[in-house]
Amino acid sequence: MLEKNGKLTPKEFQQIKSHVYYTKNILRSIKGLEEIAEIAGNHHEKLDGSGYPEKLRAADLSTLDCVMTVGDIFQALTEQRPYREGLDPENALKIIEKDVQANKLCYDAFSQLKAAF
């Protein structure tokens, strides 16, 4: 499904979203990775509560959640996909900046990423 050239069906999208549960459960089962499991499990949450799996809002996210989310979004935007070209880093950073300005924790994480470019 990750290589599909076109829009995912609702069923396919549900299957893709399930990776968060598997990741979280696998990491939780490894002693010492409990905090990492939570961060990895939250990397598709969005500041406005429209993310998944738990529809968490900005106030529910930790600094590390924001770091992981910003990095994940950046990677997704810049990576070549079968259905679109990857964006150059500058344009990807502009898109992310619009989304994170409302949350200081996430904006700080974003600023560190931006400084690397």
pLDDT at residue 3 greater than cutoff 80 = no
Is position 54 within any domain?
yes
For the record, the structure tokens of 72 come out as 């994940």
The pLDDT of residue 84 is: 87
pLDDT digits (tens, 9 = 90+) for 32-75: 999 999 999 999 988 788 889 999 988 898 888 988 888 888 89
b/e for 15-37, b at 16 or more Cβ within 10 A? Answer: eeeeebeeebeebeeeeeeeebb
Q: At CA 98, angle to CA 10 and CA 106, rounded to 5?
A: 90
Q: Is 18 a domain residue?
A: yes
Q: What is the CATH number of the domain that holds 102?
A: 1.10.3210.10
* Residue 2 falls inside a structural domain: no
Domain count for the chain, please give it: 1
Residue 3 included in any domain: no
Residue 101, pLDDT > 80, answer no
- Residue 75's pLDDT is what? 92
Question: What is the residue range of 84's domain?
Answer: 10-115
pLDDT exceeds cutoff 90 at 87: yes
Residue 1 has pLDDT above 80, yes or no: no
**Residue 39 counted as domain residue:** yes
